[in-house]
Structure 1
Amino acid sequence: MRVIPQNYGIIDKPPQFISGSKYQAHMLRASVRKYELDRIAEDLTNVLWGGGQHQNELFYNLIGLFLTKIYDEKTTRAGKAYRFQIFYNGDKSELPEEVYHRINKMYRGEWDEENSTYSDCALKYLIGFNDEKLKKTPDIVFNANKVKYVVEALQEISFTSNKYDVLGDFFQKIVRSELKQTKGQYLTHHNIVDFIVKAIDVENLAIDLINGKEGRPRLPYIIDPSCGSGTYQIQCMKEITRSILSDMDKREKIQIADDIDDFLSVNFPKHKQNAWAKDYIYGIEIYPDLAMATKVNMVGHGDGSANILPNDGLIDFADYPNGKLLNVKKTSNVYPKYVNEQFDIVVSNPPFSITVDRETAKQFPKLYIQGEKIQKSLKKENKKIIDTENLFIERWYQLLRPKGRLGVVLPESVFDLSSNKEIRLFIFKYFWVKAVVSLPYLAFAPYTMTKTSLLFAQKKTEKEVEDWNDNWDWYNKEFIKIKNQLDKLKKKKETSSLHDNFVEILKKYLLSIFETEDESLTISQLKDKYEDDIKMVDADWWIFSKMSNKYNYSIFMSHAEEIGYKRGTKKIEDRPNELFSSVCIDDSNYVIINEKPEKILDYFKQSVVWE
């Protein structure tokens, strides 16, 4: 007896997407417009985040699915079907459980008993997870139906060869809206990131270094020790690649020489134009979900993910993985703690005022000048929250080479509260302050209404710091001398012959506080009027007043009322932008520098000179 097969007469639907296919119907789409990505992102958000619970865990797994898609595109051989798609049995699509198992295996691998190792997978191939890490990595937490939904939504889009910034748009739409922002860390809007990267002039620094400014051609080493989802690294990478590629044919800025041509061919190959990033871009992020997001974002943009470390940005340099620039630890003639000094650029938005346990705080005194003060305050006041931004300011100094550039977000309290006087003196001692741009309260709303400013500075050389120290010591001796003279004169009996001498010393002691019209007052009257002022004068204030006159250089100052957006709990509203002008080309926004100043960035570029 013959049995008719179950699927007799039903022709299986072939795989739709095939690697290296010459037929349009089987190719991944490489020109997906922003409005399409916005729609897909919003759709995924509604399906995946129903109820809004466990946001960060779900976010981490969506990033894992992005990573798996990138892995599939990179490793599927020509003529083979991509695995990140829905297959069919006849006219019926495969079951959600089948999709889930295949995608999960691609994501974290399976244990291979024969070879005693995990099979190749996205986490191993792209992120460098070893067997121990893979063993501790859970399966994808989305249920099978949701995984199938994501695969169906993304299967036709190319993440690795798209004409537009697919990952950037997904991160902008999903990462910023669905990642629960806590512990003092708030992801920075791209307008602020774009402004900072343009302001520190990464593109021209890159060209100068390629031209041999310091000898052999190289590119700037860039780091963010609290990198979040990697927006600063991505923007620096884009800016440098764009400027180099645009000049490689014309050679208007890049000089012609064999060693430069060799350098360009190795670091900017046509098939992987961001290849240089794997050696030059670094990031540290204490929260693993954000570190993974940065890695995936970098991989999707042509790599640079190798130096993104899921670690604490404030620990001892010796505790970072071996073989990295971060491992370098050396002494300084002008700074009492260890320094690294391997990086040309620090760009960052550090976490503000976060909880630190006492065990972690015990390390601070050996690592930072302010460490002992912070540890004492934790013990004395029995508090757990510290101003971590002050420690990061020291860490930035430790990371930067002499003349290295700094472009960062800081709370306004750093610039005005008396409790932050020491960190302001630290900044003036160890940096040339180039600019301060104040942002409106809404910059990080609705997560926080903390008033923030952008600080731009250039690290001093050891000789420049030594010069500062010499002058500080001289003025310190002068202050002690004048104070002692005033104390002696105050005790003497008032006489007419003493008056002029008393006035002269008091004027030197009070500086700008003394009012010239008071010179005719008697000594008793002067003592009464300025009694409180005399008590308030301290050495640091007096010395810094003198130092600011001696080091009288211009600092660009500006305040932005409008920064191009207003972010609410549900959506981002477009607003006027006083930071810079931009133009949209092929769904990508490009910052414009106007020769006739119109925006803050235009004036910044005319006023600030980086050495």
Structure 2
Amino acid sequence: MPKADQKLSDILEERWTIDDLVERDKLVTERKSLKDLILELEDEVLANAGVDVFEEVFKLIFTKLYDEMESGRNSNRHLEFRNYGDTESELKEKVQRLFDRAKNKWEGVFTNDAQIMLTPSHLSICVASLQDVKLFNSNLEVVDEAFEYLISKSSKGEKGQYFTPRYVIDMCVKMLNPQEHETMIDTAAGSSGFTVHTIFHVWEQIMEDEGLNKSHLFTSELKPPRCVDYVKDKVFAIDFDEKTVRVARTLNLIAGDGQTNVLHLNTLDYERWDERTEDENWQDIYFEGWRKLKRLRTKRNSNRDFKFDVLMANPPFAGDIKESRIISKYELGKRANGKYQNSVVRDILFIERNLDFLKPGGRMAIVLPQGRFNNSSDKRIREYIAEQCRILAVVGLDGNVFKPHTGTKTSVLFVQKWDDELCPKVEDYPIFFATMKEPSKDSSGDKIFVRKKDYPNAKQYNQGANPTDIYNDVPEDLDEYLLDSHGHLIVKHDLFNHDGLTQDGIAEAFIEFAKKEGFSFLGK
């Protein structure tokens, strides 16, 4: 029993470390996903709490990520995002203090005076639901999927912007092979999957170079200075939706150990950037990233042309640009007769805008509606691209890839800007074409996972593994599925070989093609 001057939390002895969380992770032991838990909280608690669900769940995930990262870097530290017998009021005070420290560590996501708005009783239920969940794994996919769900509920789909599946992103990163010395940008960032996975790709190169191993807590571990410097100086992202920018900043701040260059700007309306960047409130959050972005401009006082080495983006397909002020800035805003159109589909202007971001020899991967490659009315767009760049590859994606958000058929276009040294102009050259044969998702948009029987000779990691990036309903017969070395379920696709466990795919075939062609970014 507590003494007169003691609280219940003072005498309860059990304290959790990060190792306890890894061992008892609810996503594994109860076979749930973080998205499932948020859905339960919405139904049971948040719907009646009178709060903005996105904001409050975002605050809790943000706070818990900070708590896990602190313990990931000090394995003896006790986790604070959990109830050790605190009263509801004590728990709220404790979580608010933790949230305040997270805000100080990862600036520019929440205002300095932001508070957790849940009542102590509602917060207590939420903490109880989330405290046994491990958010950090080798690739941030657990939390990323939860953010995708939260944002898609509010604004994402209406603007025709959809989160790019991580296996599509990984294919693009493998094919364009960004390097430590190169600059990279995503001009329609969403939750910034292209930047985060580019960071991981380069980090693995750095860590291999320094003889360091990647663990299942890869994302939370302290990195060598070269890794942090890369994020600080070389990686950028832009998006026009404030909610997605805040999510993107969170993921990049975590990946970059407090460093990020994710900016809230309208990529297409660069003429008005200066108005935006002179706003004092905007500067409080984004000034450092903006200062670094300005250094990459081709001309000192123009926000049109930049000198990036690599660009990867999935621009919004839906919605026409109707402002003549914006359309008049683009060649692709014109009709064949040279007169400007009254409205232009957004992704068409993104093609031209993205090419403006690239230096000569720079390379790009962009997700586009299939019609851009097929429609006779889009011939002028294809000719414009061919004038500016060498077309490296076109990869057709399955129609289910962007479900449940949209069934639009898409392809990924890979190009490299003409340059005398890196990509000398030629009139006739081979192009790599490929089509995805494995759908990766079913018609409802649920991911299809690799079974052991698909690869009976693959190394089995199921014993004692932690399948913590489970996306939707966990298969009941989990033992029948192949897990990778980090205990993750593997999505069934043919875009690339997953850690040597599945078969070579489109990315490997392209790399072989690129080496034969002598592309500058993949060596001989």
Under a length normalisation based on structure 1, what TM-score does the superposition of the two structures give?
0.62
Q: Cα offset for 1:299?
A: 2.8
Give the alignment of 1:209-220 within 5 angstroms: 219-220=181-182
Contact 2:308–2:359 (CA<8 Å) still a contact in 1? yes
Corresponding position of 2:305: 340
Q: Cα offset for 1:224?
A: 0.5
Cα distance change on mapping 1:342 and 1:142 into 2, 3 Å = farther
Q: Which amino acid aligns with 2:270?
A: D
Cα distance change on mapping 1:392 and 1:8 into 2, 3 Å = same
Contact 2:83–2:128 (CA<8 Å) still a contact in 1? yes
Quick check: 1:603 aligned with 2:478?
no
Q: Cα offset for 1:464?
A: 10
Corresponding position of 2:449: 574
Residues 342-370 of structure 1 deviation map (CA, whole Å, 9 limit, x = unaligned): 31111111100325463xx523423x223
Corresponding position of 1:222: 184
Contact 1:127–1:306 (CA<8 Å) still a contact in 2? no
Distance 1:36 1:422 in 2: 55
Q: Cα offset for 1:228?
A: 0.7
Corresponding position of 2:354: 396
Bigger-Rg structure (1/2): 1
Residues 494-546 of structure 1 deviation map (CA, whole Å, 9 limit, x = unaligned): xxxxxxxxxxxxxxxxxxxxxxxxxxxxxxxxxxxxxxxxxxxxxxxxxxxxx
Quick check: 1:435 aligned with 2:393?
yes
| Aligned residue among 6, 9, 12 for 1:13 | 9
Corresponding position of 1:517: none
Q: Cα offset for 1:388?
A: 1.1
Quick check: 1:126 aligned with 2:106?
yes
Corresponding position of 2:293: 325
Distance 1:323 1:377 in 2: 35
Corresponding position of 1:285: 239
Is there any run of 5+ residues in structure 2 with no aligned partner, and where? 213-221, 278-286, 459-481, 491-495
Residues 76-117 of structure 1 deviation map (CA, whole Å, 9 limit, x = unaligned): 9999976533253xxxx412x55445545654xxxxxxxxxx
Under a length normalisation based on structure 2, what TM-score does the superposition of the two structures give?
0.72
Distance 2:258 2:6 in 1: 47
Distance 1:147 1:462 in 2: 60
Local SS of the residue matching 1:458? strand
How much identity, in percent, do the aligned residues show? 22
Cα distance change on mapping 1:194 and 1:583 into 2, 3 Å = farther
Q: Which amino acid aligns with 1:408?
A: I
Distance 1:291 1:98 in 2: 32
Residues 253-307 of structure 1 deviation map (CA, whole Å, 9 limit, x = unaligned): xxxxxxxxxxxxxxx9548954521221111121121111112222333436520
Cα distance change on mapping 1:440 and 1:326 into 2, 3 Å = farther
Contact 1:63–1:296 (CA<8 Å) still a contact in 2? no
Q: Cα offset for 1:323?
A: 1.1
More helix by share: 1
Quick check: 1:185 aligned with 2:157?
no
Quick check: 1:86 aligned with 2:53?
no
The alignment of Structure 1 onto Structure 2 pairs a total of residues equal to: 447
Contact 2:106–2:258 (CA<8 Å) still a contact in 1? no
Q: Cα offset for 1:592?
A: 4.7
CA root-mean-square deviation:
4.3
Cα distance change on mapping 1:84 and 1:6 into 2, 3 Å = closer
Distance 1:434 1:37 in 2: 45
Distance 1:338 1:236 in 2: 24
Give the alignment of 1:46-445 within 5 angstroms: 46-50=39-43, 57-72=52-67, 83-88=80-85, 93-95=86-88, 98-100=90-92, 102-104=94-96, 107=99, 121-128=101-108, 133-134=111-112, 139-140=115-116, 142=118, 144-155=120-131, 164-165=137-138, 167-172=140-145, 175-176=148-149, 179-180=152-153, 181-182=156-157, 183-202=159-178, 205-206=179-180, 219-249=181-211, 269-270=223-224, 273-303=227-257, 305-316=259-270, 319=274, 320=277, 321=287, 322-326=290-294, 328-330=296-298, 339-356=304-321, 358=323, 361-366=324-329, 368-371=330-333, 376-378=340-342, 386-445=344-403
Local SS of the residue matching 1:554? coil
Distance 2:420 2:341 in 1: 31
Contact 1:440–1:562 (CA<8 Å) still a contact in 2? yes
Cα distance change on mapping 1:75 and 1:419 into 2, 3 Å = same
Cα distance change on mapping 1:299 and 1:156 into 2, 3 Å = farther
Corresponding position of 1:543: none
Residues 119-173 of structure 1 deviation map (CA, whole Å, 9 limit, x = unaligned): x65345412369xx556x6x545554443233234446666xx5x3373223235
Corresponding position of 2:281: none
Q: Which amino acid aligns with 2:184?
A: I
Q: Which amino acid aligns with 1:323?
A: R
Q: Which amino acid aligns with 2:513?
A: S
Worse-superposed segment, 406-415 or 44-53: 44-53
Contact 2:16–2:79 (CA<8 Å) still a contact in 1? no
Corresponding position of 2:17: 27
Q: Which amino acid aligns with 1:290?
A: T
Cα distance change on mapping 1:412 and 1:241 into 2, 3 Å = same
Local SS of the residue matching 2:360? strand
Distance 1:270 1:15 in 2: 40
Q: Which amino acid aligns with 1:122?
A: A
Is there any run of 5+ residues in structure 1 with no aligned partner, and where? 18-23, 108-119, 207-218, 251-267, 469-549
Contact 1:241–1:274 (CA<8 Å) still a contact in 2? no
Q: Which amino acid aligns with 1:197?
A: V
Contact 1:436–1:453 (CA<8 Å) still a contact in 2? yes
Local SS of the residue matching 1:39? coil
Local SS of the residue matching 2:331? coil
Contact 1:439–1:452 (CA<8 Å) still a contact in 2? yes
